[in-house]
Amino acid sequence: MPNILDATDLNFLLYDLLDIEATLTATGHDRAIADAILTTAERLAEDMFQPFAAKADAQEPSFDGTHVHLIPETEAALTAYAQAGFPAAGFAEADGGMGLPYLLCQAAAGWFTAANVGFAAYPFLALAAGNLLAEYGTEAQKAAYLTPIIEGRYFGTMCLSEPQAGSSLADIRTRAEPQDDGSYRLFGNKMWISGGAHEMGENIIHLVLAKVPGGPAGTKGISLFIVPKFLEDGTLNDVHLAGLNHKMGYRGTTNCALNFGEQGGAVGYLIGEENRGLSVMFHMMNEARIGVGQGASVLGVSGYLHAVEYARERTQGRAVDNRDPASPMVPIIEHADVRRQLMQARSYAEGSLALCLYAASLVDRLRAGEDGVELLLAILTPVVKSWPSEFALRANDIAIQIHGGYGYTRDYPVERLYRDNRLNPIHEGTKGVQGMDLLGRKVVQDGGAPLRALAQEIMVTLGTADAFPQERDQLGALLQRVGAVTAGMAAQAASDPKAYLANATIYLDMLGHVVMAWMWLRQAIAAQGHSDPGFAQGKTATMRYFFRYELPATGPQLDLLESMDRTCLDADTDWF
Amino acid sequence: MPNILDATDLNFLLYDLLDIEATLTATGHDRAIADAILTTAERLAEDMFQPFAAKADAQEPSFDGTHVHLIPETEAALTAYAQAGFPAAGFAEADGGMGLPYLLCQAAAGWFTAANVGFAAYPFLALAAGNLLAEYGTEAQKAAYLTPIIEGRYFGTMCLSEPQAGSSLADIRTRAEPQDDGSYRLFGNKMWISGGAHEMGENIIHLVLAKVPGGPAGTKGISLFIVPKFLEDGTLNDVHLAGLNHKMGYRGTTNCALNFGEQGGAVGYLIGEENRGLSVMFHMMNEARIGVGQGASVLGVSGYLHAVEYARERTQGRAVDNRDPASPMVPIIEHADVRRQLMQARSYAEGSLALCLYAASLVDRLRAGEDGVELLLAILTPVVKSWPSEFALRANDIAIQIHGGYGYTRDYPVERLYRDNRLNPIHEGTKGVQGMDLLGRKVVQDGGAPLRALAQEIMVTLGTADAFPQERDQLGALLQRVGAVTAGMAAQAASDPKAYLANATIYLDMLGHVVMAWMWLRQAIAAQGHSDPGFAQGKTATMRYFFRYELPATGPQLDLLESMDRTCLDADTDWF
């Protein structure tokens, strides 16, 4: 331990790759405050989060029918986190926040997630609820619910899924009945509510999707409500814990089935307008998806760092051309295949982190009103959510493998990091859902403008990649082919939507690899002037690894997409 | 539940694909006995193994300093297994066994492993020890140790690894000092000993690798010893449990650090000759590696079957061309991307099972003295060990994904199956070790004879594949390219062994895909006459899926291998 994150790399990403200094200046801040925040995050993560990650995993939350029990280190860590001011960091100064760049907040958050995702999820859910309230709440709602979130006194949740409706929000059944006083009474069952029950803080603000009777069917009839655990008079609202889910990982965070309205109706307050709840929620969801990618990335990075340390310390075997059994064993990092595995894990995890922080920087640029950024975020969000969830997770898998038998034991953190990370391809829209979002919505949106915006950004990088002509040409040619194949597919989208979408996940994988190659090329370029030549060489080598070992997989994927293959589409359900 | 294995597919593999009937007849058996054994295995697995798999996972073995505690259902299941005669099934009639084909024994074993690998590992370790004793033990050793194993009264272990020497057996330190009575006294520490401590049965026979002082350095100085837990007079031998490992999965099986000789020396008896222990152990190891692949396969198949059931029952969303939110939701198997995931999982898991049972059939053919089979087993063993360990494991990952949030909970078996299976890429030689074995030994062995033997077998199949001309030609062309690339690499093996071996794992992956494509083509051909047309169509569609979605990945892999890429080889250890 620690091996939480690599501060050198984080600074490189923030300052050299993403020029956070410009954003800090533009928002009235400076590097000193950013450094202070990152250093504090690192220290808190090391002292209060990481040491209890294994314990939180082993002693998962329990419910005795009345109370929910967490290990006490949970509240201690979150109190320290709140006292250090982290809940306020990203909110506007007008709302009582510090108005710091989203990119900086995401970087700081990375320390906590990588150290102990089970603890970190509680405040991050509160921040997500707070962001939504900041954007759509009335002044009274903000005073009542946002201010205490910013002060770190209230927690929050997002209540979307129901037992019968996971990915399919059109089919939720929770109903909200309007009352004469303008409030609503909610009735229904919500599922998979992270942070949905605990006894920390002063309140939990549930943001709940429900249908007002008489509204339109499907997603057009969904509204969004504030449903506090405690009402203003301090009494308990009609929200009841039906049970805790027992998970593979992420165990420090309670995940709940909640029943609303078992005793007459849970008091709720509408956010925004009736029947507009889904678009409000999706505003939040897009940032939540970047957050999922970021969480997956930092868990992957932590696994990679542990693997590097183990590979340097563990001796085993000898060089392949050394036949002398009496010679000393070498650290396993001396074996080319171990370095290959480390390269692979690094290219996935560190590349994912670069991508997610880049996406966070786009959020800052969007907030600053920059043109075209919305299109970039539109096309990138499904990639940012899903590529790290799959590939940074593989970095965790590789970290287990490098540890050999030890990695399979709970004495080392790598198997837990894997289990924690395994949630990320599932929540906030499964990978399949992201593929449909990408190909079904984003690629065809505005006549293909989002993909063109992305291609343009990549072309800008290629124009500065003279130091790497081979990779520049490889990515340039690939980009052209992506455009051609996409155009060919899109031409058939209207006439045969099923065939168009049948391989949406393959398209997502393919585009993810293209984006990741671009991220690695950008990193290699940005690293050239780095004060540590070894750092620049490492980035360059990992970039080369990605272009040679990983990116060529897009060739067969594009062949398949081009052919509009129907093998799976046409498979009879009885054949399985 | 059950969803342990698919009896229809198992019968197809045994009878239609691998013609076990011929082997049964040649060994004096018939289909009636085989059917009885498989049916009994299925029933026992359903009744005594599967119902306690989750419990064995949740209540892992514990050691109170004196006794090791397992859940009581463990011994009950293994007693029923022994009483049904399974320990005797595969041993020669001369040794007191039933002399049944290895293929049949492996198929029966699949039921137990898939149902509850934590229970099943104990008897399977005993059988592995028994096989070694049957092959190399003296008549006295067989009477003392093999007979009770066959009778299901004794258990066994393999003690190879040591804390400082996992994959590197040359560096073991356990020493065996010869005594005047012909026995030895062993001193040393062994690690990762599955089944190394428990209180079931009458004895545990440890087979221990150790060095006799004065012998050659490295692997040439390793000898193999029988070290029973209880000596003949009923007293405890000097073998002590240093501690149980707490694992990610496979928790029902104790995994131990054992200390030999803390109190004057553990009594051991030499098997075979001094300093020949490694070759004796590797005789066993080759079958153990087939067993690992088979275990990985059946765990993957079980996950796949659970996923199919879930996908048929769980409703969510609507067809992409149905915009009516009031229409009923459809089972998720109706979604093309879910079918794609099922195809992928099936192609990995069911294909792996076909490969491992094929390898088991080769063991029978080898025992029957057939020419050329040894070469096939030589080249295939690293593939059989590692491809299922990676790809049938991915089938478990896909099964989690198809279950969505439910798959991430411990209420469904799929996350446990994943955790159980995650051991398989590690033990009995990591994937990296298998790659080195394949490229460093098997490919260059006998002037390339093993790969030629494999190519010849594949060509035989291609000659019967007229029903699938496209796949026949695809595989035929690929096979030619594999030969050419391998020849180019091998030409540089002597002059630059490091570069030759640098991408050994990529070679292993590539050849694994080629072998798997062949297995799927063979299955599609064999299924054509199946009494259930849907069965044949399912096999054909999955074969097509594999050729279209998976096999093309070998193209970039072969490009990379051909280039003798040095990116990872030349990476400085300081760059990580």
CB atoms B191 and A405 under 8 Å: yes
In total, chain A counts a number of residues equal to 576
Beta-carbon contacts of residue B331 (< 8 Å; ≥ 6 apart): A573, B311, B312, B313, B314, B315
Q: Say whether both A438 and A563 belong to one domain.
A: yes
Beta-carbon contacts of residue B7 (< 8 Å; ≥ 6 apart): B38, B42
Q: Find residue B203's DSSP bridge partners.
A: B154
Which residues on chain A are in Cβ contact (under 8 Å) with B337? Answer: 432, 435-436, 502, 504-505, 568
Q: pLDDT digit string (tens) for A268-280?
A: 999 999 999 998 9
| Peptide bond just before A2 cis, omega within 30 deg | yes
Q: Which of residues 149-168 of A touch B (CB under 8 A)?
A: 161, 164-168
pLDDT, residue A286, reads 83
Q: Say whether both B162 and B138 belong to one domain.
A: no
Instruction: Give the closest-approach CA distance of A549 to chain B in angstroms.
Output: 7
A252-266, A429-443, B156-170, B343-357: the lowest-pLDDT one: B156-170
DSSP labels, B299-318: HHHHHHHHHHHHHHH-B---
Q: Is-contact A165 A171, C-beta < 8 A?
A: yes
DSSP labels, B504-532: HHHHHHHHHHHHHHHHHHHHHHHHTT-SS
CB atoms B548 and A541 under 8 Å: no
Q: Does B330 touch chain A (CB under 8 A)?
A: no
CB atoms B325 and A408 under 8 Å: no
Which one is catalytic: B73, B428, B457, B471? B428
- Nearest residue, CB atoms, B497 vs list A320, A538, A541: A320
Q: Which of residues 249-308 of B touch A (CB under 8 A)?
A: 249, 308
Pairing of strands A175-178, A62-63: unpaired
- Nearest residue, CB atoms, A559 vs list B329, B552, B560: B552
B1 vs A379, residue with greater confidence: A379
CA atoms of A375 and A455, how far apart (whole Å): 11
Beta-carbon contacts of residue A234 (< 8 Å; ≥ 6 apart): none
Instruction: Give the closest-approach CA distance of B366 to chain A in angstroms.
Output: 31
Q: pLDDT digit string (tens) for A561-573?
A: 999 999 999 999 9
What average pLDDT does range A466-479 have in this prediction? 98
Q: pLDDT digit string (tens) for B90-140?
A: 999 999 999 999 999 999 999 999 999 999 999 999 999 999 999 999 999
The alpha carbon of B83 is separated from its chain's Cα centroid by a whole number of angstroms, namely 25
Q: Say whether both B148 and B270 belong to one domain.
A: no
Instruction: Write the ipTM.
Output: 0.97
pLDDT, residue B221, reads 95
- The encoded tokens of residue A207 equal 């943001």
pLDDT, residue B119, reads 98
Q: Residue A209: pLDDT above 90?
A: yes
What average pLDDT does range B131-152 have in this prediction? 97
CB atoms B432 and A575 under 8 Å: no
Q: Name the average pLDDT for chain B.
A: 96
CB atoms A405 and B192 under 8 Å: yes
Q: pLDDT digit string (tens) for B182-201?
A: 999 999 999 999 999 999 99
Q: By C-alpha distance, which of A223, A236, A241, A218 is closest to A177?
A: A223
Determine the residue type at B158.
M
For chain A, counts of helices (H) and of strands (E): 21, 10
Instruction: Give the closest-approach CA distance of B495 to chain A in angstroms.
Output: 11
Q: Say whether both A142 and A189 belong to one domain.
A: no
Beta-carbon contacts of residue A220 (< 8 Å; ≥ 6 apart): A275, A278, B325
Q: pLDDT digit string (tens) for A480-497?
A: 999 999 999 999 999 999
Q: Does B440 touch chain A (CB under 8 A)?
A: yes
Q: Say whether both B36 and B166 belong to one domain.
A: no
CB atoms B404 and A567 under 8 Å: no
Q: Say whether both B126 and B165 belong to one domain.
A: no
Q: Which of residues 453-512 of B touch A (CB under 8 A)?
A: 497-498, 501-506
Last residue of a domain, one of B130, B155, B180: B155
Q: Which of residues 416-435 of A touch B (CB under 8 A)?
A: 418-419, 422-423, 425-427, 430-432, 435
Sign of the torsion formed by the C-alpha atoms of A541, A545, A547 and A548: positive
Q: Is-contact B423 A408, C-beta < 8 A?
A: yes
Q: Residue A167: pLDDT above 80?
A: no
pLDDT, residue A164, reads 87
Last residue of a domain, one of B96, B126, B155: B155
Name which of B340, B344, B438, B506 to mutate to probe chain A: the one with the most chain A Cβ atoms within 10 A of its Cβ.
B340
Verify whether residue A471 is a known catalytic residue.
Answer: no
pLDDT, residue A567, reads 97
pLDDT band at B411 (very low <50, low <70, confident <90, very high): very high
Evaluate whether residue B196 is within a structural domain.
yes
CA atoms of B156 and B216, how far apart (whole Å): 28
pLDDT, residue A558, reads 98
Q: Where are the beta strands (DSSP E) in B212-314?
A: 222-228, 239-244, 255-260, 266-271
Give the SS3 label for residue B226: strand
CB atoms B161 and A405 under 8 Å: yes
- State which residues form the domain around A169: 156-275
Evaluate whether residue A386 is within a structural domain.
no
Q: By C-alpha distance, which of B81, B106, B101 is closest to B91?
A: B101
Give the SS3 label for residue A562: helix
Q: Is-contact B108 B89, C-beta < 8 A?
A: yes
Q: Does A107 touch chain B (CB under 8 A)?
A: no
Q: Residue A284: pLDDT above 90?
A: no
pLDDT band at A307 (very low <50, low <70, confident <90, very high): very high
The count of structural domains within chain A is 3
Which residues on chain A are in Cβ contact (under 8 Å) with B502? Answer: 336-337, 340
Which residues on chain B are in Cβ contact (under 8 Å) with A389? Answer: none
CB atoms A559 and B537 under 8 Å: no
Instruction: Give the closest-approach CA distance of B101 to chain A in angstroms.
Output: 30
Q: Say whether both B23 and B65 belong to one domain.
A: yes
Q: Say whether both A150 and A161 belong to one domain.
A: no
Taking CA atoms, B148 is separated from A225, B91, B142, B154, B427, in Å, by 69, 12, 9, 5, 27
- The encoded tokens of residue A315 equal 């001796």
pLDDT, residue B1, reads 83
Evaluate whether residue B86 is within a structural domain.
yes
Q: Which of residues 342-371 of A touch B (CB under 8 A)?
A: 342-343, 346
Evaluate whether residue B460 is within a structural domain.
yes
**What does the DSSP 8-state code read for residue B97?**
S
**CATH assignment at residue B100:** 1.10.540.10
CB atoms B339 and A498 under 8 Å: no
Number of cross-chain residue pairs from A and B with Cβ atoms under 8 Å apart: 265
CA atoms of B202 and B111, how far apart (whole Å): 25
Q: Residue B491: pLDDT above 80?
A: yes
- The encoded tokens of residue B217 equal 């350095």
Q: Say whether both B434 and B567 belong to one domain.
A: yes
Instruction: Give the closest-approach CA distance of B399 to chain A in angstroms.
Output: 12
Which one is catalytic: A428, A457, A471, A550? A428
Evaluate whether residue B541 is within a structural domain.
yes
Q: Residue B37: pLDDT above 90?
A: yes
Q: Residue A1: pLDDT above 90?
A: no
- The encoded tokens of residue A223 equal 């509204």
Which residues on chain A are in Cβ contact (under 8 Å) with B319? Answer: 498
Which residues on chain B are in Cβ contact (under 8 Å) with A401? Answer: 425-426, 430-431
Q: Residue B166: pLDDT above 80?
A: no
Evaluate whether residue B361 is within a structural domain.
no
Q: Name the average pLDDT for chain A.
A: 96
Q: By C-alpha distance, which of B210, B199, B281, B187 is closest to B236?
A: B199
At which residue do the structure tokens 């590692």 appear?
B386
Which residues on chain B are in Cβ contact (under 8 Å) with A419? Answer: 248, 419
What average pLDDT does range A136-143 have in this prediction? 97
pLDDT, residue A472, reads 98
Which residues on chain B are in Cβ contact (under 8 Å) with A435? Answer: 337
Binning chain B into helix, strand and coil, the percentages to the nearest 5 are 60, 10, 30
Q: Is-contact A174 A260, C-beta < 8 A?
A: yes
Per-residue 3-state assignment (H helix, E strand, C coil) for B450-485 = HHHHHHHHHHHHHCCCCCCHHHHHHHHHHHHHHHHH
Q: Say whether both A150 and A162 belong to one domain.
A: no
Q: By C-alpha distance, which of A299, A310, A298, A301 is closest to A338?
A: A310
Q: Say whether both A144 and A16 belong to one domain.
A: yes
**CATH assignment at residue B209:** 2.40.110.20
Instruction: Tell me the backbone φ, ψ of residue A424, rounded to 5 degrees.
Output: -65, -35
Evaluate whether residue A391 is within a structural domain.
no
CB atoms B336 and A168 under 8 Å: no
Q: By CB neighbour count within 10 A (0-12 exposed, 13-18 middle, 19+ buried), where does A89 fall?
A: buried
What average pLDDT does range A543-551 have in this prediction? 98
CA atoms of B185 and B175, how far apart (whole Å): 8
CB atoms B408 and A426 under 8 Å: yes
Evaluate whether residue B320 is within a structural domain.
no
Instruction: Give the closest-approach CA distance of A89 to chain B in angstroms.
Output: 31
- The encoded tokens of residue B572 equal 């400085």
Query: Which residue in chain A is spatially nearest to B573 when comparing CA positions?
Result: A333
Query: Which residue in chain A is spatially nearest to B305 when comparing CA positions?
Result: A576
Q: Which of residues 182-221 of B touch A (CB under 8 A)?
A: 191-192, 217-220
- The encoded tokens of residue B471 equal 């796949």
DSSP labels, A199-240: --SSEEEEEEEEE-TTS-SGGGGEEEEEEESB-TTSPBPSEE
Q: Residue A201: pLDDT above 90?
A: yes
Q: Residue A285: pLDDT above 90?
A: no
Instruction: Give the closest-approach CA distance of B64 to chain A in angstroms.
Output: 19
DSSP labels, A85-110: TGGGTTS-GGGTS----HHHHHHHHH
Q: Say whether both B166 and B176 belong to one domain.
A: yes
Q: Does B319 touch chain A (CB under 8 A)?
A: yes
Q: By C-alpha distance, which of A521, A543, A103 is closest to A294?
A: A103
Q: Is-contact A374 A368, C-beta < 8 A?
A: no
Last residue of a domain, one of A115, A139, A155: A155
